[in-house]
């Protein structure tokens, strides 16, 4: 396997659980070090719904209009092509079908996460219930198609007026206008990195091997049950790698879960994946006063920002930034996260002083133009894919892993994943 983010680590566990001998190669020194490190904590089925219409718009950093994809710099010709496909995929019935697939996968993943947490006695911060906040009557009207989608799929929710919503989350700022809210049911918040560390330990207990500080330079197909991986030591820590790029390791199959780094690996196999890295941001800070903090999680539909409680910390996440400098956070997006937090829970976290500490994070989320990930066998024998979950990587991780393990074993998955087929991109 290639990649030990939360998707890769959970896939490794599921495959090992099924009796496969699994080795995971990861260029970092441990699991969940990149896009999974401080991503949004939301796993509630329904939070990915198109709460605002039109959803797929482009905007420049200097505009004040919220939502859509924020452009940083002038896109290249190839990037304009991807953005055009992304916008077209958000139109009409195509968009509705894509959201149905995403909803189904997130709900299945939510159920699988709960099952694993209980069966394996995993320790990670988690809570139930989430409020989708609607600031105005117009936002409530825009949310109607999303509610109908969830109703059609049997995803549980309840509608509340402002008074009921404030009773459920008493710390909501009384001075911020609130028209109403939608309550998403079941497990809603979970700590992605804590889960990844716990599921890694369970995978190792079952016999899975992790090779950290080891980059996969190329994947080469030598026919059925013969996949060669060329490896190279990476990172500052010493690698346990005993092979050189001239001496590849051979496996029966490979599962690629390497996020944005998957594109180059697959290209050498003739698999052209239309994937782009879209930057997301988060803030994590210690709670100053528990009575001023959320009990679970809220999602601000106007700004596309979630606020979740993780034990004694709060995680604020959002942003959809295209073309930013890798490793460099967007000041505009961070300002918006701070602003949404102040709107709803002013004074909830320690922002300064000797006990104040805010972790500002940005990461590249591997995003496909139409929304759902690619999940399953590619047209190259022995090469399997679990990539492109976009902003919902953590929300889909457990379900994607189980579905892929079932398909690799020749079984039907518990849910339909035709909308995630790699063949839709000719892979």
4-15 residue pLDDT tens: 999 999 999 999
User: Does the pLDDT value for residue 293 go beyond 90?
Assistant: yes
Q: How far is CA 309 from CA 11, 263, 290, 314, 370, in A?
A: 26, 34, 10, 5, 30
Q: Write down the pLDDT at residue 8.
A: 98
Q: Torsion over CA of 304, 419, 71 and 333, rounded to 10 degrees?
A: 30
Mean pLDDT computed over 32-40:
92
Q: Using DSSP, state whether 106 is helix, strand or coil.
A: helix
Backbone angles phi, psi at 295, to 5 degrees: -80, -35
Bridge partner residues of 276 (DSSP) = 367
Q: Across residues 269-292, what is the average pLDDT?
A: 94
Q: In whole angstroms, give the CA distance from residue 196 to residue 189.
A: 14
Q: Are 129 and 184 in contact (CB under 8 A)?
A: yes
pLDDT > 70? residue 381 = yes
The pTM is what? 0.93
pLDDT at 353 over 90: no
Q: Which residues are CB-neighbours of 52 under 8 A, at least 6 positions away?
A: 67, 139, 142, 143, 301, 302, 304
pLDDT at residue number 54? 53
Q: Compute the distance between CA of residue 11 and CA of residue 33 in angstroms, rounded to an integer.
A: 16
Domains (ranges, CATH) in the chain? Answer: 6-36+195-275+371-425 (3.50.50.60), 58-89+125-186+276-367 (3.30.9.10)
Average pLDDT, the chain: 91
**Residue 117 predicted with pLDDT over 90:** yes
Q: How far is CA 29 from CA 24, 210, 214, 220, in A?
A: 12, 10, 9, 25
Q: Average pLDDT, stretch 196-200?
A: 97
- What are the distances in angstroms from CA 89 to CA 100, 148, 369, 373? 14, 20, 7, 14
Whether 364 shows a pLDDT value over 90: the answer reads: yes
Measured CA to CA, the distance from residue 45 to residue 422 in angstroms comes to 23
Quick one: pLDDT at residue 240?
A: 54
Q: How far apart are CA 73 and CA 305, in angstroms?
A: 23
Which tokens go with 67?
């939502």
Determine the pLDDT at residue 69: 83
DSSP secondary structure letter of residue 325? P
> Is pLDDT of 244 > 60?
no
H/E element, 77: helix 77-88
Kindly state the average pLDDT of the residues 319-332: 84
pLDDT computed for residue 379 by the predictor: 95
Residue-level pLDDT at 247: 74
Would the pLDDT of 330 be above 90? no
User: 133-137, 320-324, 415-419: lowest mean pLDDT where?
Assistant: 320-324
**pLDDT for 238:** 52
Residue range 291-301: average pLDDT?
A: 96
- Please compute the mean of the pLDDT values over residues 371-378 and round it to a whole number: 95
Average pLDDT of the residues in 225-235: 91
Query: Is the separation of the CB atoms in 419 and 101 below 8 Å?
Result: yes
Question: Is the model's pLDDT at 198 over the cut of 70?
Answer: yes
Q: Which residue has the higher pLDDT, 18 or 323?
A: 18
Residue 355 has a pLDDT of 54
- Segment 69-98, tens digit of pLDDT: 888 888 888 899 999 998 888 776 777 788
Tokens for 179, please give them: 């028209």
DSSP state of 54: S
Local confidence band at 157 (pLDDT 50, 70, 90 cut-offs): very high
- Total length of the chain: 427
């Amino acid at each position: 396997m290639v990649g030990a983010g939360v998707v890769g680590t959970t896939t490794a566990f599921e495959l090992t659980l099924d009796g496969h001998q699994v080795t995971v190669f990861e260029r970092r020194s441990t699991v969940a070090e990149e896009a999974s490190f401080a991503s949004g904590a939301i796993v509630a089925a329904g939070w990915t719904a198109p709460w605002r219409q039109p959803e797929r718009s482009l905007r420049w950093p200097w505009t004040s209009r919220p939502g859509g994809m924020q452009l940083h710099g002038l896109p290249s010709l190839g990037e304009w092509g991807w953005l055009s496909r992304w916008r077209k995929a958000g139109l009409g019935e195509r968009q509705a079908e894509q959201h149905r697939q995403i909803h189904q996968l997130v709900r299945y993943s939510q159920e699988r996460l709960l099952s694993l947490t209980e069966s394996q006695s995993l320790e990670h911060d988690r809570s139930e219930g989430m409020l989708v906040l609607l600031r105005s009557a117009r936002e409530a009207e825009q949310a109607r198609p999303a509610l109908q989608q969830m109703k059609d799929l049997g995803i549980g929710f309840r509608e509340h007026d402002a008074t009921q919503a404030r009773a459920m989350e008493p710390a909501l700022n009384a001075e911020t206008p609130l028209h109403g809210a939608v309550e998403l049911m079941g497990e809603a918040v979970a700590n992605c990195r804590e889960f990844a560390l716990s599921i890694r330990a369970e995978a190792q207990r079952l016999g899975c091997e992790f090779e950290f500080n080891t980059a996969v330079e190329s994947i080469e197909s030598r026919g059925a049950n013969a996949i060669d991986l060329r490896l190279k030591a990476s990172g500052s820590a010493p690698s346990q790698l005993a092979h050189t790029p001239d001496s590849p390791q051979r496996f029966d199959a490979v599962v690629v879960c390497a996020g944005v780094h998957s594109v180059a690996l697959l290209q050498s196999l003739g698999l052209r994946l239309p994937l782009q890295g879209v930057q997301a941001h988060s803030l994590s800070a210690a709670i100053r006063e528990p009575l001023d903090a959320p009990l679970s999680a809220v999602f601000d539909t106007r700004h596309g920002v979630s606020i979740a409680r993780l034990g004694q910390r709060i995680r604020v996440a959002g942003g959809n930034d295209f073309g930013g400098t890798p490793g460099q956070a967007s000041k505009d997006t961070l300002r918006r996260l701070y602003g949404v937090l102040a709107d709803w829970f002013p004074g909830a976290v320690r922002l300064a002083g000797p006990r104040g500490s805010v972790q500002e994070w940005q990461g590249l989320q591997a995003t496909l133009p139409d929304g759902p990930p690619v999940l399953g066998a590619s047209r190259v024998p022995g090469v399997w894919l679990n990539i492109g979950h976009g902003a919902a990587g953590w929300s889909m991780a457990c379900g994607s892993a189980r579905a892929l393990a079932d398909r690799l074993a020749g079984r039907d998955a518990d849910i339909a994943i035709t909308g995630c087929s790699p063949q839709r991109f000719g892979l």
